[in-house]
């Protein structure tokens, strides 16, 4: 697909601009990776290679940092990312059952996008809204509090048509 | 800015947002526009007010009327009744545990009356996006006092005298930390605010950052002045986008007013703050790991000494303070060390913010004097169990802490007392557990967390916790042997003694504390293959009481794996070979006919 | 915004900001209640309220709070305002235009003088 190519080029260009704006120093690696993930959705080996060259560090060091932090992903995610909190409070209040229900409804495994690429389910540790446990976060902003397994199909339905989260 | 006669403070803390604050705010604004009240009614989003279980919340000033559990419809009604007609909308008023509504000022509610607010003094009270409201509440006066009237040594002396101890968990005296860093040689020095609040169950730092970001900036500038640093970093979790946004706004306002930047308030002192966003690694709460992460590396801890006070960020002397600790600094400077010492206990002066969560009525954030008993905290302020079942234990200190059984609820809350019980103060998360919570499962839960989060540097932590988890998996599956309990203790001791950093050293705490207080539960799992709390899936079965089942088929229809069979109006059966123990059937049965049993 | 250089600069901002904030405080010497029912607003109570707040500000009065209420049932003489000062009988005024509002602040609030031509009712109901 030709326009995918140009999109890719555009994203690399945007990444380079960002690197220029904060300075191409090795200590900026985490910030650069955060920006790259924001742009590309995940950190492919191609992107990691590119960053290594831009910052003048070995790609092994980039890979080491990428795999160390939970925030970074080397695999594509679903268009809509659903984070199910499994912090202590959510766990005590049945967050594990909410997670199971999501996986069951979508027929997928944690971190793996559904076949159509629409959703991916992520178990996360504490979103800091413990008093509303169990908590589910869809995308970056849509918080659902006091979620019961029964509410899961309704939550999924809301995002079936969503293009980009 | 024209003055508004009515100010509606709407809580935009994380919990209220997840409870639907945004839609309530939109409804409010729509109604305000509809009645053209824009000039006289001001809606302000504040940080967390602390009564999270009642969210979304709002307080209407000048009357100070407190409304809870709001919906867009409620917002409409409140504008139409309260704002336009001055009639209090009783159905949304804050209610006592007895169900009686309280149309009183916020300060008089029992949930608030026992609290002493120092670190969270402005949270939920001021508009976090308005630096002048912070100034109105004595904001930046401490910085002015320090720059105009005090020497760095005097600042350190005052903080030392106050007895303030690190609120991030370990309780190291803050003044001493500052003094050590001041005395270290270095061409540059740094002060870092640790806002990588990783403990599951703790959210006070987020609340302060979202609700009162300027207090952190002011405290960091004071700390910078005291230790001789011109650069500060705030290391904040990526999971807290709102906090990051508000900090950024606060930083630009502080620069504009001249509280950050070159030659602050006409003095020779210059100070800058940069935000560094974490990337999700629990171990980065550990000082040396956090430093590595700021430098853009894998967040792995290193051997201490040298301590950060001697060699921190880029090998320069660095002081690292937690958010809540920093939030106590400005009041200590303005009101003095003696005032601070008059609150709390001899060894743990001041207050502590706790995040109450789990099976407790008033979930939320509370700030109380140190030395308050767990009983007062959980029952008087927290309102006791939310499930109607007895509170069995409270878990403090997250994955590094332990479970405290209800028999010990008379214990005063301070660093030493909690440690004696095998728990720790930690960052202040308190998860309340009732009789439905299996302590073996809770220990397993925390171990799973540490296994995920161990950075892998030290073998005992990396491999040892994995072995412990394996044993706990076996026990909760009913395959444990008696000698496993001894093996757990052995492993725990070795991991504690031989790990490099706090994560490894404290990782066995949840197991050790539950082994100590709930040995009988472990024994039931191991010897009788039984889970007394009916939690461990492999040890329970679901049964239908034939005398109660009316054959409504609700359970059979909801069962995701078709494990339930039976005809209409006839008693149903559950095939426990097929059943996945999801519990959906119990939730839909209106006759209480389904229950869990453990042999 | 010029940068703050001295304690005096800071104090000034605090005082200004406090005036804004104090409307939320209670323990006051008095209270002005503006009837803000739909009828009151239709009669211009919004401007009245604004004028009162401004007048208090201009005269540095911060121990009198301004609150809203619903309709006092005196729609005929809207906008209405009730002034309640410590140790004095409450007074209700009618036809309180922004101009009249300023007079009420000057006379009643500042020198405890009842503005007789606007008087609707005196004393508790």
Using CB atoms, pick whichever of C3, C46, C71 lies closest to residue B257.
Answer: C3
Q: What is the mean pLDDT of residues B116-125?
A: 85
Position B105 confidence tier, pLDDT thresholds 50, 70, 90: very low
**pLDDT tens digits, B220-241:** 999 999 999 999 999 999 888 8
Q: Which residue has the higher pLDDT, B113 or B174?
A: B174
Q: What is the pLDDT of residue B582?
A: 83
Please report residues of A whose CB lies closer than 8 A to that of B301: none
pLDDT at B106: 47
Report, as an integer, the average pLDDT of B232-252.
Answer: 91
B36 touches chain C (CB under 8 A): yes
Averaged pLDDT for residues B47-52: 78
Distance from CA of B468 to the nearest CA of C (A): 55
pLDDT average, residue stretch B264-269: 95
Task: For residue C23, list chain B residues with Cβ-Cβ distance below 8 A.
Answer: 3-5, 7, 61-62
Among A19, A67, A105, A128, pick the best mutation site for testing chain B contact (most B Cβ within 10 A). Answer: A128
Distance of CA A121 to the CA centre of its chain: 9
Contact indicator for A83, A75 with CB cutoff of 8 Å: no
Q: Residue B280 is nearest to which of A71, A88, A145, comparing CB atoms? A: A71
CB atoms within 10 A of CB B302: 15
Residues in chain B closer than 8 A to A88 (CB atoms): 200-201, 357-358, 395, 398, 429, 431, 445-446
**Residue B348 contacts A, CB cutoff 8 Å:** no
Q: How many residues does chain B have?
A: 599
Is the per-residue pLDDT at C39 higher than 70? no
pLDDT at B441: 94
Answer whether B44's CB lies under 8 Å from B8's CB: yes
User: Is residue A57 left, alpha or beta, with left meaning phi > 0 and alpha meaning psi from -120 to 50?
Assistant: beta
Whether the bond between A134 and the residue before it is cis, its omega within 30 degrees of 0, is: yes
- Residue B542: in which H helix or E strand, if any? strand B541-544
CB contact under 8 A, A64 and B281: no
B200 and A126 Cβ atoms separated by less than 8 Å? yes
From chain B residues 409-438, the ones with a CB under 8 A of any chain A CB are: 429, 431, 433, 437
In B, minimum Cα distance to A126 occurs at B200
Strands (E), B57-189: 58-61, 65-67
* Burial of residue A69, with CB atoms counted within 10 A of its CB: 0-12 exposed, 13-18 middle, 19 or more buried: buried
CB contact residues (below 8 A), chain B span 247-276, against chain A: 276
Say yes or no for a CB contact (<8 Å) between B15 and A31: no
pLDDT, tens digit, 9 for 90 and up, residues C80-122: 888 888 777 788 888 899 999 999 999 999 988 888 888 877 7
Q: Which residues pair with B394 in a beta bridge?
A: B404, B432
Write out the H or E segment, with its range, that includes residue B21: helix B21-34
Distance from CA of A125 to the nearest CA of B (A): 6
Chain A residues with CB-CB distance to B239 below 8 A: 124, 126-128
Q: Give the orientation angle of helix A29-40 with respect to helix A2-22, to 10 degrees.
A: 160
Q: How far apart are CA B513 and CA B25, in angstroms?
A: 44
Residue C31: is the preceding peptide bond cis (ω within 30°)?
Answer: no
Q: How far is C73 from chain B (nearest CA, A)?
A: 11
Preceding omega of B244 cis (within 30 degrees of 0): no
Measured in whole angstroms, the distance separating CA C95 from the mean position of its chain's CA atoms is 15
Give the A:B interface size as CB pairs under 8 Å.
151
To the nearest whole Å, the CA of A13 is away from the closest chain B CA by 22
**A82-91, A125-134, B271-280, C36-45: range with lowest mean pLDDT:** C36-45
Cα–Cα distances in Å, from B25 out to A155, B16, B19, B63? 22, 11, 12, 19
**What pLDDT sits at residue A4?**
54
Write out chain A residues lying below 8 Å of B240, CB-based: 128
Q: Does B56 touch chain A (CB under 8 A)?
A: no
Residues A73-103: b if buried by 16+ CB within 10 A, e if exposed: beeebbbbbbbbbbbbbbbbbbbbbbbbbbb
Token pair 């974490």: residue:
B278
Mean pLDDT of B325-346: 96
pLDDT higher than threshold 60 for residue B35 = yes
B77 CB-near residues (< 8 Å, 6+ apart): B89, B92
Kind of pairing between the strands at B231-236 and B190-195: parallel
Using one digit for the tens of pLDDT, what is the confidence trace for A95-151?
999 999 999 999 999 999 999 999 999 998 887 777 668 889 898 767 787 888 989
Question: Residue B3's pLDDT is what?
Answer: 44
- pLDDT, residue B104, reads 45
The per-residue pLDDT for B4 is: 54
Within 8 A of C46 by CB-CB distance, chain B residues are: 36-37, 39-40
**pLDDT interval class at B86 (50, 70, 90):** confident
Task: Round to whole Å and give the CA distance between B325 and B309.
Answer: 17
- For residue A29, pLDDT over 70 is answered with yes
Closest by CA to B251, choosing from B237, B264, B239, B261, is B261
Give the pairing type, strands B58-61 and B6-11. Answer: antiparallel
Residue B358 and residue A88: Cβ atoms within 8 Å? yes
Residues C49, B5: C-beta atoms closer than 8 Å: yes
DSSP H or E stretch at residue C33: strand C30-35
* Digit-coded pLDDT (tens) for A47-58: 999 999 999 999
CB pairs under 8 A between B and C: 113
Distance from CA of B150 to the nearest CA of A (A): 36
Question: Distance between CA B129 and CA B122 in Å, rounded?
Answer: 12
Q: Per-residue pLDDT averaged across B512-541, rounded?
A: 95
Report residue B498's pLDDT band, with 50, 70 and 90 as the boundaries: very high
Q: Given B52, B239, B297, which is nearest A127 (Cβ)? A: B239
Q: What is the DSSP letter of B105?
A: B
| Per-position DSSP letters for B339-382, written without gaps between them | HHHTSB-SSSBSEEEEEEEESBSS-EEEEEETT-BHHIIIIIIT
* Mean pLDDT, chain B, integer: 90
Q: Which residues of B touch C16 (CB under 8 A)?
A: 132
**Could you read off the pLDDT of B172-186 as tens digits, one per residue?**
999 999 999 999 999
Nearest to B200 among A27, A31, A126 (CB): A126
Residue A31: pLDDT above 70?
yes
- The ipTM (two decimal places) reads 0.86
Q: Is B322 exposed, middle or buried (0-12, 13-18, 19+ CB in 10 A)?
A: buried
Do the chains B and A touch each other, judged by at least 3 C-beta pairs below 8 angstroms?
A: yes
- Report the side by side order of strands in the sheet with B58-61: B41-46, B6-11, B58-61, B65-67
Q: Which comes out higher in pLDDT, residue C44 or B478?
A: B478
User: What residues of B are in contact with residue A127 (Cβ under 8 Å)?
Assistant: 14, 239
CB-based contact B433:B406 (threshold 8 Å): no
User: In sequence order, what DSSP letters do the residues of chain A get, joined into one string?
Assistant: -HHHHHHHHHHHHHHHHHHHHH---GGGHHHHHHHHHHHHSS--HHHHHHHHHHHTS-HHHHHHHHHHSTT--SS---SEEEEEE-SHHHHHTTHHHHHHHHHHHHT--TTPPPTTSSEEEEEES--S-GGG-S-EEETTTEEE-S--GGGHHHHHHHTSS-S--
pLDDT for B100: 47
For the stretch C17-36, pLDDT in tens is 777 655 444 457 888 888 77
Enclosing H/E stretch for B503: helix B502-506
What token pair was written down for B265?
């308030």
Contacts of B463 (CB under 8 A, 6+ apart): none
**Which positions in chain A touch B200 (Cβ < 8 Å)?**
87-89, 125-126, 130
User: Are B89 and B82 spatial neighbours (Cβ–Cβ below 8 Å)?
Assistant: yes
- Higher pLDDT, residue B3 or B316: B316
In this structure, is the dihedral angle defined by the CA atoms of residues B233, B236, B242 and B243, taken in order, positive or negative? negative
Identity of the residue in B105, B135, B261 whose CB atom sits nearest the CB atom of C10: B135
Determine contact: B584 vs chain A, CB below 8 A: yes
Predicted confidence band at B52 (pLDDT cuts at 50, 70, 90)? confident
Selected residue of B6, B7, B40, B146 to mutate for chain C interface (largest C Cβ count, 10 A): B40
What single DSSP character describes residue B173?
Answer: B
Residue B448: strand, helix, or coil: helix
Range B408-436 average pLDDT? 92
Report the residue from C37, C46, C70 with minimal CB separation from B39.
C46
d(CA B31, CA B35): 6
Say if CB B281 and CB A68 are below 8 A apart: yes
Cβ–Cβ < 8 Å for B431, B201? yes
Q: What is the mean pLDDT of residues B207-218?
A: 92
Q: Which of residues 77-116 of B touch C (CB under 8 A)?
A: 81, 83-87, 105
Chains near B with 3+ CB pairs less than 8 A apart are: A, C
Chain C interface disruption, residue of B42, B105, B135, most C CBs within 10 A: B135
Q: What is the mean pLDDT of residues B482-494?
A: 96
B133–C68 C-beta distance less than 8 A: no
| B115 contacts B202 by C-beta, under 8 angstroms | no
Which one of A92, A127, A144 has the shortest CB-CB distance to B431?
A92
C8 touches chain B (CB under 8 A): no
| DSSP class per residue in C42-110 | HTTHHHHHHHHHHHHHHTT--SEEEEEES--S-GGG-S-EEEEETTS--EEE-S--HHHHHHHIIIIIH
CB atoms within 10 A of CB B139: 27
Instruction: Inform me whether the pLDDT recorded for A6 exceeds 80.
Output: no
């Amino acid at each position: 697909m030709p326009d995918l190519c140009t999109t890719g080029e555009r994203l690399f260009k945007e990444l380079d601009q960002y690197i220029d704006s904060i300075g191409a120093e090795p200590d900026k690696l985490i910030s650069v990776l955060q920006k790259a993930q924001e742009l590309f959705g995940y950190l492919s080996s191609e992107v990691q290679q590119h960053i290594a060259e831009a910052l003048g560090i070995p790609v092994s060091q980039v890979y080491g940092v990428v795999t160390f932090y939970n925030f970074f992903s080397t695999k594509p995610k679903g268009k809509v990312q659903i984070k199910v909190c499994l912090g202590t409070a959510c766990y005590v209040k049945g967050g594990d059952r909410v997670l199971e229900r999501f996986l069951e409804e979508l027929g997928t495994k944690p971190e793996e996008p559904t076949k159509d690429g629409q959703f991916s389910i992520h178990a996360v540790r504490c979103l800091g809204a413990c008093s509303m446990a169990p908590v589910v976060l869809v995308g970056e902003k849509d918080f659902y509090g006091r979620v019961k397994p029964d509410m899961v199909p309704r939550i999924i339905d809301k995002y079936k048509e969503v293009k980009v989260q | 800015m024209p003055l508004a006669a009515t100010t509606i403070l709407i809580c935009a803390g994380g919990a209220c947002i997840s409870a639907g604050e945004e839609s309530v705010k939109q409804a409010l604004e729509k109604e305000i526009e509809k009645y053209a009240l824009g000039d006289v009614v001001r809606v302000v989003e504040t940080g967390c007010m602390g009564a999270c279980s009642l969210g979304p919340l709002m307080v209407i000033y000048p009357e100070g009327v407190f409304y809870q559990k709001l919906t867009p419809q409620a917002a409409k009604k409140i504008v139409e009744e309260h704002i336009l007609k001055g009639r209090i909308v009783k159905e949304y008023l804050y209610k006592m545990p007895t169900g009686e509504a309280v149309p009183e000022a916020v300060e008089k509610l029992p949930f608030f009356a026992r609290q002493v607010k120092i670190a969270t003094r402005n949270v939920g009270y001021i508009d976090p996006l308005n630096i002048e409201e912070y100034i109105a509440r004595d904001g930046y006066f401490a910085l002015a006092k320090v720059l105009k009237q005090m020497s760095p040594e005097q600042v350190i002396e005052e903080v030392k005298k106050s007895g303030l101890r690190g609120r991030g968990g370990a309780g190291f005296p803050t003044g001493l930390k500052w003094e050590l860093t001041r005395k270290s040689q270095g061409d540059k020095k740094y002060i870092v605010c640790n806002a990588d609040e990783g403990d599951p169950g703790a959210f006070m730092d987020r609340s302060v950052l979202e609700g009162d970001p300027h207090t952190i900036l002011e405290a960091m500038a004071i700390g910078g002045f005291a230790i001789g640093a011109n650069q500060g970093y705030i290391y904040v979790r990526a999971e807290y986008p709102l906090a990051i946004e508000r900090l950024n706004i606060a930083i630009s306002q502080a620069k504009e007013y001249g509280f950050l930047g070159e030659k602050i308030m006409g003095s020779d002192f210059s100070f800058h703050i940069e935000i560094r966003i974490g990337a999700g690694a629990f171990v980065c709460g550990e000082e040396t790991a956090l430093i590595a992460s700021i430098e853009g590396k894998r967040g792995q801890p290193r051997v201490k000494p040298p301590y950060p006070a001697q060699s921190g960020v880029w090998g320069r002397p660095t002081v690292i303070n937690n958010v809540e600790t920093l939030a106590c600094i400005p009041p200590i400077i303005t009101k003095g060390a003696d005032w601070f010492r008059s609150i709390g206990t001899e060894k743990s002066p001041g207050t502590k913010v706790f995040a109450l969560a789990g099976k407790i009525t008033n979930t939320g954030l509370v700030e109380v004097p140190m030395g308050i008993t767990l009983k007062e905290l959980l029952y008087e302020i927290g309102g006791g169990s939310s499930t109607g079942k007895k509170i069995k234990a409270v878990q403090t200190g997250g994955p590094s802490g332990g479970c405290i059984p209800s028999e010990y609820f008379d214990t005063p809350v301070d660093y030493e007392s909690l440690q004696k019980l095998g728990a720790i103060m930690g960052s202040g998360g308190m998860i309340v557990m009732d009789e439905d919570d299996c302590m073996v499962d809770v220990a397993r839960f925390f171990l799973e967390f540490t296994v995920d989060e161990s950075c892998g540097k030290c073998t005992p932590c990396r491999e040892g916790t994995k072995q412990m988890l394996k044993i706990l998996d076996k026990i909760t599956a009913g395959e444990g042997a008696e000698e496993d309990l001894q093996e757990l203790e052995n492993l725990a001791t070795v991991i504690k003694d031989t790990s490099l950093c706090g994560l490894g050293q404290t990782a066995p705490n949840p197991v050790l504390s539950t082994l100590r207080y709930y040995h009988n539960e472990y024994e039931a799992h191991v010897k009788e293959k039984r889970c007394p709390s009916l939690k461990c899936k492999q040890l329970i079965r679901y049964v239908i009481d034939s005398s109660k089942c009316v054959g409504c088929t609700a359970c059979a229809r909801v069962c995701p794996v078709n494990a339930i069979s039976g005809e209409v109006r006839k008693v149903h059966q559950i095939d426990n070979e097929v059943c996945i123990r999801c519990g959906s059937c119990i939730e839909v049965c209106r006759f209480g006919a389904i229950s869990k049993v453990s042999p | 915004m010029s940068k703050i250089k001295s304690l005096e600069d800071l104090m000034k901002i605090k005082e200004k900001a406090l005036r804004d904030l104090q409307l939320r405080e209670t323990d006051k010497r008095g209270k002005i209640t503006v009837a803000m029912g739909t009828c009151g607003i239709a009669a211009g109570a919004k401007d009245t309220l604004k004028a009162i707040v401004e007048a208090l500000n201009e005269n540095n009065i911060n121990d009198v709070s301004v609150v809203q209420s619903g309709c006092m049932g005196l729609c005929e003489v809207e906008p209405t305002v009730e002034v309640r000062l410590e140790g004095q009988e409450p007074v209700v005024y009618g036809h309180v235009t922004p101009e009249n509002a300023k007079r009420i602040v000057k006379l009643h609030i500042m020198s405890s003088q009842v503005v007789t031509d606007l008087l609707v009712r005196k004393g508790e109901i």
